[in-house]
Amino acid sequence: MGGAWAEFSEPRRHLIALAGRITLDGGRERGAHGAGIILCQLFAAKAPLRFSDLERLIAGVNQKMLIQQLKQLEQDGIVLRTVFAQVPPRVEYELTDMGYALGPSMQALIEWAEMRRARFTRNG
């Protein structure tokens, strides 16, 4: 799978760019912990992540918001949720092929955000 984002290895830099309140959910503001942050973490991981991993990786996220965002990404066909029948239950999240196809668009969005941030930093 990896595709266009196989080299995505610096999530912190990309998370900072996305934290500028850029959303991927039709413009509804979700703060710095929206779908973009979740997608960045899944791209960076290059492997499925457990819910607890995502919760740990996204500083300040609350469970309710993370659950809602993951459900929406799953409904949109961007994230695959796998439940393992074991005790305690284990749930993993990973990008689908459609999710990986967002890579070039996400990269362009991140580059735009960095360019915009630099412009506003220069103009004070």
The domain total for the chain is 1
Residue of 13, 30, 1 lying closest to 107 (CA atoms): 13
pLDDT at 4: 44
Look at residue 21 and tell me whether its pLDDT is greater than 50. no
Specify the CATH number for the domain of residue 110.
1.10.10.10
Read off the tokens for 106: 């996400």
Look at residue 101 and tell me whether its pLDDT is greater than 80. yes
Write the pLDDT tens digit of every residue in 45-95.
989 999 999 999 988 888 999 999 999 999 999 999 999 999 998 999 999
Which residues span the domain enclosing 62?
Answer: 3-122
pLDDT at 17: 47
CA–CA distance, 89 with 57 (Å, rounded to integer) = 20
| Residue for token pair 């779908």 | 35
At 105, give phi and psi (nearest 5°). -65, -40
| Residue for token pair 């990986």 | 100
Average pLDDT over residues 106-122: 82
> pTM of the full predicted structure?
0.68
Degrees, nearest 5: CA angle 60-62-67: 135
